[in-house]
Structure 1
Amino acid sequence: MHWLLLLLVVCGAATAQEGRWCSRDDTASVLSSWSQGMGLDSNGDTGVTIKKATEFFLHLMSVHPEVTPLFANVNVDNPRSPEFQAHLLRVITGLDLCVNALSSDRTLEEITSHLAKQHEARPGVKAKYFKALRKFIDRNIPQLVDNLDLQAWDNCMTPIFNAITALLP
């Protein structure tokens, strides 16, 4: 009987080390998918990433036109402007930091907490805008990634988006 209890404790400890965000296997799958889907690699070319991010944001603004004024200071009226493209890269870089920190609970907690506070401080930013952006990404990522593990994707991305939007109305 004591061996069974010991086995349960060991299994529980191993599971607890998986992390509160998502499992190691899910993390590996999402890291691979994210890199492939967003065109983030070591060659330094951000063209593909900016193109995809522009599609995401233009869709967000078509679904929620009230969000457009929130981006007035980044020249939203000209999606090809350096200001708007720089903003898009900041957004993608924020998500990239989150995805790449999935294996470090402490680091990911710090990043998402920082992003949550940043967005809480901006009047008019609402959780529903992040949900619309996430929905668009989820709907389109399978077209960008070979053999996407949707369950792993959801297991990792849901807690990230929930943490970023935790302080928003």
Structure 2
Amino acid sequence: MKSLVVLFALVAMVAAECGPMQRLLVKTQWNKVYGTSKVRDEAGHVLWKAIFAQDPETRALFKRVNGDDIYSPEFMAHSARVLGGLDIAISLLDNQADLDVALAHLHVQHVERHIPTRYFDLFKNALMEYAPSALGRCFDKTAWSSCFDVIANGIKE
């Protein structure tokens, strides 16, 4: 009986990790979620609305880029930079060495800006609501969650 429990624990652990298959799945699905420039702008609006709805105080971090108006050119440019960083990280999920370099670069930027780690949870929550709405039944919550954690953990202070 003990060995059966250990086996189930190992299976659950492997299923919850961001392994090679999960990385390829997220990478492929991200192309559908993030798509073209029009979709990218809409994705940014939806994600930031969801982030600010979860914690309105978050807007204070974005005064420099006109965070009070997510449709302003300044904020849209900021959104494009943030989602562009995520796009790069996701595109490198299947290349660990290059992913590590990209995440180290993003880490430095987030440390310089004193981004609290709790904001990564807000972003993840928003992404985990937006991605399935774009993908439908094909969304793999476990893969997306664990692979987002790989990226977020590589950036956090």
Within the candidate set 95, 101, 104, 2:92 is matched to 101
Deviations 1:84-116 (A, max 9, x none): 101000011000000001111111111111111
Contact map agreement 2:41 2:80 (CA 8 A) in 1? yes
Give the distance between the partners of 2:142 and 2:61, measured in 1 at CA: 32
d(CA) in 2 for partners of 1:156, 1:99 = 8
1:39 and 2:41 correspond: no
CA distance in 1, matches of 2:60, 2:53: 13
Residues 7-156 of structure 1: pairs in structure 2 closer than 5 A: 22-40=18-36, 46-123=37-114, 125-146=115-136, 147-156=138-147
Higher helix fraction (1 or 2): 2
Residue 149 of structure 2 corresponds to residue 158 of structure 1: yes
Q: Distance in 1 between the 2:99 and 2:123 partners?
A: 20
Q: TM-score, normalised by structure 2?
A: 0.82
**One-letter amino acid matched to 1:85:** M
Residues 154-163 or 125-134, more deviating? 154-163
Structure 1 stretch displaced more, 102-111 or 52-61: 52-61
Q: Contact between 2:103 and 2:154, CA under 8 Å: does it hold in 1? A: yes
Contact 1:26–1:156, Cα closer than 8 Å, also in 2: yes
Runs (5+) with no aligned partner, structure 1? 1-20, 41-45
Partner amino acid, structure 1, of 2:134: L
Larger Rg: 1
Between the aligned partners of 2:80 and 2:58, the Cα distance in structure 1 is 18
Distance 2:73 2:48 in 1: 15
Alignment partner of 1:145: what SS? helix
Note the alpha carbon deviations across 1:39-69, whole angstroms, 9 max, x for none. 24xxxxx121111111211221222222212
Instruction: Confirm or deny: 8 A CA contact 2:48 2:70 kept in the other structure.
Output: no
Note if contact 1:22-1:102 (Cα within 8 Å) is conserved in structure 2: no
Structure 1 residues 63, 150: CA separation in 2 closer, same or farther (over 3 Å shift)?
A: closer
Conservation of the 8 A alpha-carbon contact between 1:98 and 1:112: yes
Displacement, 1:82?
1.1
Give, in whole Å, the separation in 2 of the partners of 1:155 and 1:72: 31
Gaps of 5+ in 2: 1-16
Tell me which stretches of 4 or more aligned residues in structure 1 moved more than 4 Å: none
Count of residues in correspondence between the two structures: 140
